[in-house]
Amino acid sequence: MAERGAGARPFRILGIQQIAVGGPSKARLKALWVDLLGLAVTGNFVSERENVDEDICALGSGPFAVEVDLMQPLDAEKKPAVQATPLNHVGLWVDDLPRAMDWLAAQGVRFAPGGIRKGAAGHDICFIHPKGSEDFPVGGEGVLIELVQAPAEVIAAWDGLSARKETT
């Protein structure tokens, strides 16, 4: 995609924000992730538009916590089919979501419909489509990738970690 180049990348991917696991029933997912592995349920998100009922869980704490979303469809016959692939998507913290989306689109990255919007945990999000297209040939190669605007405390924590690495 170098021919589409728009200069240096104007954003940073900071780390994994979330993984989302789908199934026909959250009860079975919770039996493993919450009851046996000990993750804490921190919230719930229900969206008819996204066809999802999800429990938001936390793995770790503070700015390096990873969200684990346990998802079931509201209607198993409708799309998006959150249960169709057990690992539904991976979410990445981004320090500047609008610039990331603009720059990536200029590089030929295909985004899923919906643009930037509020996600289940209240952060601005967008999705890289699992498949490229003729106009936008770069996709997630079968993986739905959520880009998530990192809040200031996450950016500061990652900057602090980077600064420590430079001094050692």
Residue 4 lies in a domain: no
- DSSP track, 22-52: E-S-HHHHHIIIIIIT-PEEEEEEEETTTTE
Residue 91 lies in a domain: yes
Question: Can you give the pLDDT at residue 7?
Answer: 79
Q: Is the pLDDT of residue 2 over 50?
A: no
Question: Can you give the pLDDT at residue 116?
Answer: 98
Residue 66 lies in a domain: yes
Segment 2-28 mean pLDDT: 86
Residue 39 lies in a domain: yes
Question: Can you give the pLDDT at residue 167?
Answer: 65
Residue 1 lies in a domain: no
How many distinct structural domains can be found in the chain?
Answer: 1
Interatomic CA distance for residues 105 and 127, integer angstroms:
12
Residue 9 lies in a domain: no
Q: What is the CATH number of the domain that holds 112?
A: 3.10.180.10
Residue 6 lies in a domain: no
Domain that holds residue 32: 14-167
pTM of the model: 0.78
Residue 131 lies in a domain: yes
* 3-state SS class at 165: helix
